[in-house]
Amino acid sequence: MPQERGTWSASQTTLDKATKVMEAAAASGDLYRNGLGMIASENIVSPMVQKIVASDLHGRYAEGLPGKRYYQGCDDFDTIESVGIELAKSVFKAPFANIQSTSGTVSNIAALKALAKPGDAITAVSTADGGHISHARMGAVGLRDLNLSTYPWNEERMEPDVDGACDLIRSIEPKVALIGQSVFLFPTPLEEISAAAHEVGAKVMYDGAHVLGLIAGGVFQDPLREGADLMTGSSHKTFPGPQGGFLLSSSEDPAFQKRLNNAIFPGVCSSYHLHHVAGKVIALAEFEEYGAAYAKDIVANAQHFASALAAEGFDVLAESRGYTASHQVLTRHGETDSGAGAKAARLLEDAGIITNMNMLPGDTKAMTPSGLRLGVQELTRVGMGRLEMEEVARLYARVLIHNEEPSKVKNDVKELKSNFQVIRYCFNDEERTGYPF
Ligand SMILES: Cc1ncc(COP(=O)(O)O)c(C=O)c1O
């Protein structure tokens, strides 16, 4: 008897491995469904985005640009990507948009490929002051073999020291002046820095990974009109789409635009995850409708949350500037390099509150920092507002100030979260079921 092709039989040990993975994915869904996701770089996707990300597109290829493909079968995806490019141009008010990048880091690698050659100079915010690893020699900057100089930092204002940054740019004459951080409380004074960069012939690259949704929502700053030649970013932080990236530019120059497109493909991508691109397009359409309200609510919530934490007795950074103008809040939990931030993050996790430890000014070791970086974009997305921000600050205080048993607090976290299971600021294409899994 010929062996049946595509048989369903499988060994129990292999099945057990798959089962373990499915169970872990479901448990991760439960963790966030019952808990408070407060990592500033994360978000949840809408029901329509969930649906398209799980579509047949996940297995397809479409190298090139709409209308100029290397494979057959791309006509429908051409429609999707064309709609997406136009939406991205409109949402980000950008003359140029490429929506293919598979992450913020990939966008940065492509941008640096387009803007600089190995050995060129670049200026950026240091990782100790909140710059991203892709801005450092250990990341994309090193991959492109660029000579990095970092801006002096104004700890009081939590932004680059503007005069110092301009002096540095004028003396180094870099090819790229890179702006933007992972710890991003306040808009960067971009016009002055851009003027200094353009004076010496540098391109200004703004990494808006964290704040892209706030920028598009009109509540942070407007880099492409404040001198940035290029803006990169993630599609899944304050911009609430699936994981991926954007590459945007204020340039109308077709030759420069072509260089940017080529830097993505064939530069750093072959397949660019069509299901995620389609998800980004849906998220862009949803953002066009609801993005301004979402962005405004995020910043209001972050400011309420910071004030509420301070009222509970926490040391919240940047008090003199009103704590924050973004989705992020920074708290200090002990001495510099003491690891107090790591301990606080672990205790909060035991209470069902997911955060990350973060280096604060003065900290020198990434694994034993004194602070936490907190983000409210996900709680905002499920409808939490001022009252809930106060409630969440109380939950933090119970764990970290009043030393209550985290497992006891966890019950109240679950109770609070049970009332916030519907994803908002998105299309209601069918019954909205809340979190994935
Ligand atoms: C400033 C900045 N740039 C780039 C990235 C990388 O983004 P992705 O995780 O999408 O690669 C991050 C990630 O958090 C970031 O904070």
CA atoms within 13 A on the CB side of 379: 34
Pair 399, 263 in one domain: no
- The range of the structural domain enclosing residue 388 comes to 290-418
- Cα(206) to ligand 1 centroid in Å equals 12
Segment 238-248 mean pLDDT: 98
Cα angle 245, 248, 254 (rounded to 5 degrees) comes to 130
Cα–Cα distance for residue pair 429/223, rounded to 1 Å:
33
Domain presence at residue 4: no
| Structure confidence at residue 2 (pLDDT) | 57
Domain presence at residue 433: no
Domain presence at residue 409: yes
Residue 103 Cβ contacting ligand 1 at under 6 Å: yes
Pair 129, 253 in one domain: yes
Can you tell me which atom of ligand 1 is nearest the CA of 184? 1
Can you tell me which atom of ligand 1 is nearest the CA of 180? 1
The neighbouring-strand residues paired with 124 are: 150
E strand or H helix at 166, and its extent?
Answer: helix 162-172
Mean pLDDT score across all residues of the chain: 96
- 44 φ, ψ to 5°? -120, 150
Q: Where are the alpha helices (DSSP H) in 382-420?
A: 386-400, 406-418
Residue 209 Cβ contacting ligand 1 at under 6 Å: yes
- Cα(104) to ligand 1 centroid in Å equals 5
Residue 280 Cβ contacting ligand 1 at under 6 Å: no
Pair 90, 230 in one domain: yes
DSSP three-state, residue 73: coil
Pair 385, 333 in one domain: yes
Q: Per-residue pLDDT tens for 40-60?
A: 999 999 999 999 999 999 999
Can you tell me which atom of ligand 1 is nearest the CA of 243? 10
| Structure confidence at residue 7 (pLDDT) | 74
Decide which of 234, 256, 284 is a domain's last residue.
284
Residue 182 Cβ contacting ligand 1 at under 6 Å: yes
**pLDDT above 90 (res 1):** no
**What are the distances in angstroms from CA 379 to CA 36, 298, 424?**
7, 9, 10
- Cα(178) to ligand 1 centroid in Å equals 14
Cα–Cα distance for residue pair 153/141, rounded to 1 Å:
20
Segment 170-175 mean pLDDT: 98
Domain presence at residue 11: no
Segment 176-202 mean pLDDT: 98
| Structure confidence at residue 437 (pLDDT) | 45
Q: Per-residue pLDDT tens for 68-109?
A: 999 999 999 999 999 999 999 999 999 999 999 999 999 999
Pair 250, 198 in one domain: yes
Domain presence at residue 144: yes
**pLDDT above 80 (res 430):** no
Residue 234 Cβ contacting ligand 1 at under 6 Å: yes
Q: Say how many C-beta atoms besides its own lie within 10 A of residue 143's C-beta.
A: 16
Pair 199, 307 in one domain: no
Pair 60, 182 in one domain: yes
Can you give the CATH number for the domain in which 177 is found?
A: 3.40.640.10
Pair 140, 189 in one domain: yes
> Which residue's alpha carbon is nearest to atom 3 within ligand 1?
209
Can you give the CATH number for the domain in which 361 is found?
A: 3.90.1150.10
Domain presence at residue 5: no
Q: Per-residue pLDDT tens for 214-228?
A: 999 999 999 999 999
Least confident of 14-18, 205-209, 341-345: 14-18
Decide which of 258, 284, 310 is a domain's last residue.
284
Domain presence at residue 163: yes
Q: Where are the alpha helices (DSSP H) in 313-385?
A: 340-350, 377-381
Segment 190-211 mean pLDDT: 98
> Domain count of the chain?
2
Can you tell me which atom of ligand 1 is nearest the CA of 182? 16
Instruction: State how far Cα 115 lies from the chain centre.
Output: 22
- Mutation to probe ligand 1, out of 125, 178, 182 (largest number of atoms < 8 A from CB): 182
| Structure confidence at residue 204 (pLDDT) | 98
Cis peptide preceding 266, ω within 30 of 0? yes
| Structure confidence at residue 232 (pLDDT) | 98
Pair 250, 375 in one domain: no
- Mutation to probe ligand 1, out of 102, 105, 125, 377 (largest number of atoms < 8 A from CB): 105
Segment 181-201 mean pLDDT: 98
Q: What is the pTM of this model?
A: 0.96
Decide which of 251, 284, 317 is a domain's last residue.
284
- Cα(356) to ligand 1 centroid in Å equals 15
Q: Per-residue pLDDT tens for 299-352?
A: 999 999 999 999 999 999 999 999 999 999 999 999 999 999 999 999 999 999
**pLDDT above 50 (res 431):** yes
Pair 201, 317 in one domain: no
Can you tell me which atom of ligand 1 is nearest the CA of 235? 10
Pair 78, 130 in one domain: yes
Pair 76, 194 in one domain: yes
| Structure confidence at residue 3 (pLDDT) | 59
Residue 307 Cβ contacting ligand 1 at under 6 Å: no
DSSP three-state, residue 66: coil
> Which residue's alpha carbon is nearest to atom 9 within ligand 1?
104
> Which residue's alpha carbon is nearest to atom 7 within ligand 1?
104
Q: Per-residue pLDDT tens for 349-408?
A: 999 999 999 999 999 999 999 999 999 999 999 999 999 999 999 999 999 999 999 999
Can you tell me which atom of ligand 1 is nearest the CA of 236? 10
Domain presence at residue 45: no
